[in-house]
Amino acid sequence: MNSSSDTPLVLLIDDAEDVHRLLKAKATYAGYRLTSAYNVTGGLKAATALGPDLVLLDLWMPNSDGFSALKALKDSPATMDIPVIVLSGSNHTSDKVRAFELGAADFVSKPFDFTVLSARLRNAHRTSRLLFLLAQQSHIDGLTGLKNRAHFDEEFHAQLKRRQRSHTELTLVLTDLDHFKRVNDEFGHPAGDAVLEAFANLLAQSVRGDDTACRYGGEEFALVLPGTTAAAAAQLCERIRIAAEALEFQRYPGLSLTASFGVTDRPSTPGTNSNSAWVEAADHALYDAKQSGRNRVHLFNETGGVSALKIAS
């Protein structure tokens, strides 16, 4: 979805010059930005590169048909969520059915009235925005505002694929609040919520734009750090650990916070590139940090064990 402007970007894929001229003038007046492609190949490239808010796709063009273009748009992860309105001189029911089965948001027959087309553009864009917002909300933890476990699973899987393709650094951190049950027992669950929110804010403020901080479950959190070595991630965790110790809770005198961290830049089993193998490695390091006294950062090492390096005391 294009986010460079409040004005929706519409990609028109049509071989007819007069259609482009007509829609260029009308679209600007109606509050849209229009970009043009005159064949399927150029249209698919433009859709991938520009990420338009909407696509208007002619069904019949020389040397190719809109059905194949529609299928390609809906098969690609980069463009599958872009609403596509099919334009066609055909009024056959079979064409309409096939277009909808392939994922078209709407079907408009030529010649068309621009007022009607504009209303359909607005409707498709509004529906797309609502679906986008719902998808975002479904990936956000309600208490902390961080991404949730479902988002972590998707994001980390995508980062592992990226790492395989580009051989870039990737580090996973699991962190757990120490003695969290004691906080709830001694100060009450509102205090526990305050601790979770404060630590979540600390994580959010500590990571970069490309990083992802998630609430993994309960009092456990995860950091996905692309382009970061394990050593650099450990230093980041140490800074977070120190900052967590310094947090004060004015409503709950005597309440303090510490956290333990498990860091890994590799899966638990060499050659295994799955979420679960990486989580197992980070969890192994986290468990060792807990067993060693808590409030410290431990790294999963090259031999498949936990590094003896103790960053915190």
Selection from 266, 171, 181 nearest residue 223 by Cα: 171
H/E/C letters for each residue in the chain?
CCCCCCCCEEEEECCCHHHHHHHHHHHHHHCCEEEEECCHHHHHHHHHHHCCCEEEEECEECCEEHHHHHHHHHHCCCCCCCCEEEEECCCCHHHHHHHHHCCCCEEEECCCCHHHHHHHHHHHHHHHHHHHHHHHHHCECCCCCCECHHHHHHHHHHHHHHHHHHCCCEEEEEEEECCHHHHHHHHCHHHHHHHHHHHHHHHHHHCCCCCEEEEEECCEEEEEEECCCHHHHHHHHHHHHHHHHHCCCCCCCCCCCCEEEEEECCCCCCCCCCHHHHHHHHHHHHHHHHHCCCCCEEEECCCCCECCCCCCC
- Whether 219 is catalytic is yes
Residue of 101, 219, 220, 280 with catalytic role: 219
Sheet containing 106-109: order of strands: 33-37, 9-13, 54-58, 84-88, 106-109
Contacts 24+ apart (CB under 8 A), 101-107: 102/67, 102/70, 102/71, 102/74, 103/70, 103/73, 103/74, 104/57, 104/70
CA 219 to chain centre: 22
Q: Catalytic amino acids? A: 219
